[in-house]
Structure 1
Amino acid sequence: MARFENRMRPIHPGEILREEYLVPLGMSANALALALRVTPARINEIVREQRGVTPDTALRLARYFGGDARSWMNMQVTYDLKVAQRDLGERIAAEVVPREGAGQEIPEN
């Protein structure tokens, strides 16, 4: 059965945005939405971990805070894969027979 060796819970990019950017700056999600020129609902849903970071949002966050959009997208993809592995990994391992000579594990990254 394919599992992540790291048993840490998946970390949503919204948690990073909230705890590493908004809280230290004393900035609200609504203020960030205004600065990014997106709807407050978009940022609120991200920081409440109810919505993922899209390429558009990643570009805006990178432009506003500095850094690069790829980092925001990598956080989202890593989160999505960990959630999928947790929720679907065992079922996929049971359903899909590996091609002969292929590895037995679903890659972590």
Structure 2
Amino acid sequence: MNMHSPSHPGEVILEDVLSELEISIAEASRRLGVSRVALSRVLHGHAAMSPQLALRFEVAGIGNAKLWLDMQAAYDLAHLKEQGLPKVESLLSN
């Protein structure tokens, strides 16, 4: 991934929020009411931020769900574009 690629929201939360608050993944998963394994996968960028998890972070006082989901969409699109654009034909008439 190049220097200008969007960050994965989970990695941002892990590095900029949980680390600063000195909250472990296990403790965060307990407070959020999600499994430690599922949360760890998101926080390490191995799984996408779901709307449900984004809302849990919002309710827990960490950003807002739309921010996390917008960040995830930007991350996903950047990775798709790095793989190459799909072969499609225009839907607009010539």
Smaller-chain TM-score range?
0.7 to 0.9
CA RMSD between the two structures:
1.8
Per-residue deviation at 1:61? Answer: 0.5
Compare 59-68 and 74-83 and name the one that shifted more: 59-68
| Pairing partner for 1:15 from 11, 23, 26 | 11
Equivalent pairs, count: 92
Q: Is the 8 A contact 1:10 1:83 kept in 2?
A: no
* 1:96 alignment partner in structure 2: 88
- Please list, as runs of the form range in 1=range in 2, the aligned pairs for 1:26-105 lying within 5 A after superposition: 26-89=22-85, 92=86, 95-98=87-90, 99-100=92-93
Larger radius of gyration: 1
Q: Is the 8 A contact 1:13 1:72 kept in 2?
A: yes
- C-alpha distance in structure 1 between counterparts of 2:10 and 2:65, whole Å: 14
Q: Structure 2: which 5+ residue stretches go unaligned?
A: none
- C-alpha distance in structure 2 between counterparts of 1:12 and 1:54, whole Å: 12
TM-score relative to the length of structure 2: 0.86
Per-residue deviation at 1:51? Answer: 0.7
Per-residue deviation at 1:66? Answer: 4.2
